[in-house]
Structure 1
């Protein structure tokens, strides 16, 4: 029988996900751990996403389907599924990723047995649009360190925020601001979680992240596969287009004068200033930011030049 107060809430924000959605839903609904609600927020899809969701919801009472009357952007839709959740634990799920049948049970077990961890995820396989194996995701970080300044430093590493799709204690999520509407907002969000507590990475490949040409990484970060294994061919020229990424995160940014790299820098500082870190820990985090920005100062200048160009073009 469905529990009206489930142990876990799964939030699945989706927009035009008809190609992969059914396979993703089947993986979640067939988990060995079943005490969850599945909240789907459809961001005004124009394909068959709504029909798929309504059909699944009619067959499984754990599914709660919402449809936004208009596209509110990625970040707002991510935040909405969290706001609607009731569980003690929370997990975001993507419409195109897959999970091993025991993913949830193993993550919940870790968090139940280890109260000092706030998030649990697993090793990750990268798969293609046909669900075929591509490669292991080999970017590993010391997010289980006892020292928050070390976790902060590690999470400044270029990575794809797959930790965001782990199982998280909801009470910790409520201690940080919602995901913002700017480029790298997911990275900042994970960073703020890392300041508050340790992550545990299950040493098994239980999460399968799909790579395909419809996802945001492909649209704004065409060479993202180059550094999944810390490929030496990756360079600053392969960075994503944070201008378009900002619009994707928040559709209200379209047409606005944006300073995306300055905004990321600002959010790094805010993460430190409003954290529970001690002053020595905050200074250590600031040093990490300086090291990260070394060699990328031209991106801040690029923001200013683009803004000036846009201002003069409107004059």
Structure 2
């Protein structure tokens, strides 16, 4: 009996990605590791995304294309490509990023050799719309620690969650909650994976993350965060707009009272409670949360003010309609 199940599943969620989609797919198809399936989920694009994807499906039998009837938001689409996967390993990829040809091969080799590693990624280079070098991303987290509370502490630092585009053990992803429909949901997912096992960062620049005006992230993440290091002091007012980020993750959040910073705090607590940490490890995690939350009281107050604003707007709309 022939086993047609690929070792790796690659999920590509996309919405209106025509500008860079061909380059992104070509970068995947050029990988020296070939035992994979590429699952594309189109979030009801209105540009040439569907045409481009269907042309690639005709060229390579490893590619599967799905199209949502409406734009479900980023998080549901990210979850969908994982739900459709079948490989031992899984990897998300964006419609505008690029990889060195041996990125996947080197990540798979690390995972094959060390069962304590559940996610493997590499150093990151930031490129512009033309694919030209901008700067190397310098936030390096010590997520290879054998101690779970130390990995938790590292992943609480402000970072851009590029590890989410590494190669991950499918068995580990199935043990954590799906990607949530709230701001910083990718960071929470990484935090929970970090409580399960070690990450390994290949000390080579094999992942090229594109920074351009059309991408969704540019609406919420200030440029300086791309080039910060983890020890740089960042004031609360300089952080991303997590309310807008929550709407991007799931369009159903628009106009709702969602309290994004309180939600992140709550998800941190859930991550600790739902893990098998010892009491001593939990105490270390709580201490890390306290250290990271100092000076963020402004953000929690900001949530209340935003909630009052939305409540007032919805109340006025209700009065007008009545």
**Superposition TM-score tier, normalisation by shorter sequence:** over 0.9
Q: Which residue of structure 1 lines up, in the alignment, with residue 110 of structure 2?
A: 110
Asked whether the equivalents of residues 227 and 234 of structure 1 are also in contact (C-alpha less than 8 Å), the reply is no
Deviation at 1:233? Answer: 8.0
- Structure 2 unaligned segments of length 5 or more: list them: 317-322
Asked whether the equivalents of residues 98 and 207 of structure 1 are also in contact (C-alpha less than 8 Å), the reply is yes
Asked whether the equivalents of residues 236 and 299 of structure 2 are also in contact (C-alpha less than 8 Å), the reply is no
* TM-score, normalising length: structure 1: 0.96
Residue pairs, 1:149-228, within 5 angstroms = 149-225=149-225, 227-228=227-228
Distance in 2 (CA, whole Å) between partners of 1:230 and 1:85 is 33
Distance in 2 (CA, whole Å) between partners of 1:121 and 1:232 is 23
Q: Which residue of structure 1 lines up, in the alignment, with residue 284 of structure 2?
A: 284
Q: Which residue of structure 2 lines up, in the alignment, with residue 96 of structure 1?
A: 96
Q: Which residue of structure 1 lines up, in the alignment, with residue 77 of structure 2?
A: 77
Structure 1 residues 46 and 231, CA, compared in 2 at 3 Å: closer, same or farther? farther
Deviation at 1:236? Answer: 2.5
Distance in 2 (CA, whole Å) between partners of 1:120 and 1:151 is 14
* TM-score, normalising length: structure 2: 0.94
Q: Which residue of structure 1 lines up, in the alignment, with residue 61 of structure 2?
A: 61
In the comparison of the two structures, how many residue pairs are matched?
314
Q: Which residue of structure 1 lines up, in the alignment, with residue 25 of structure 2?
A: 25
- Structure 1 unaligned segments of length 5 or more: list them: none
Cα RMSD after superposing both structures? 1.5
Q: Which residue of structure 2 lines up, in the alignment, with residue 294 of structure 1?
A: 294
Distance in 2 (CA, whole Å) between partners of 1:131 and 1:234 is 29
Deviation at 1:280? Answer: 1.0
Deviation at 1:215? Answer: 1.8
Asked whether the equivalents of residues 10 and 38 of structure 1 are also in contact (C-alpha less than 8 Å), the reply is yes
Distance in 2 (CA, whole Å) between partners of 1:266 and 1:254 is 20
Q: Which residue of structure 2 lines up, in the alignment, with residue 236 of structure 1?
A: 236
Q: 1:209-228 deviations in whole A, cap 9, x for unaligned? A: 11111222211123344643
Deviation at 1:72? Answer: 0.5
Structure 2 SS opposite 1:265: helix
Q: Which residue of structure 1 lines up, in the alignment, with residue 320 of structure 2?
A: none
Q: Which residue of structure 1 lines up, in the alignment, with residue 40 of structure 2?
A: 40
Distance in 2 (CA, whole Å) between partners of 1:135 and 1:102 is 21
Structure 2 SS opposite 1:65: strand
Distance in 2 (CA, whole Å) between partners of 1:203 and 1:262 is 35
Distance in 1 (CA, whole Å) between partners of 2:288 and 2:234 is 21
Distance in 1 (CA, whole Å) between partners of 2:17 and 2:295 is 38
Asked whether the equivalents of residues 6 and 37 of structure 2 are also in contact (C-alpha less than 8 Å), the reply is yes
Q: Which residue of structure 2 lines up, in the alignment, with residue 311 of structure 1?
A: 311
Q: 1:99-132 deviations in whole A, cap 9, x for unaligned? A: 0000111000111011111011011111001000
Structure 2 SS opposite 1:203: strand
Q: 1:267-313 deviations in whole A, cap 9, x for unaligned? A: 01000011111111111111111111100111111111221233234
Structure 1 residues 234 and 214, CA, compared in 2 at 3 Å: closer, same or farther? farther
Asked whether the equivalents of residues 247 and 254 of structure 2 are also in contact (C-alpha less than 8 Å), the reply is yes
Asked whether the equivalents of residues 6 and 88 of structure 2 are also in contact (C-alpha less than 8 Å), the reply is yes
Asked whether the equivalents of residues 221 and 238 of structure 1 are also in contact (C-alpha less than 8 Å), the reply is no
Deviation at 1:234? Answer: 4.7
Q: Which residue of structure 2 lines up, in the alignment, with residue 250 of structure 1?
A: 250
Structure 2 SS opposite 1:109: helix
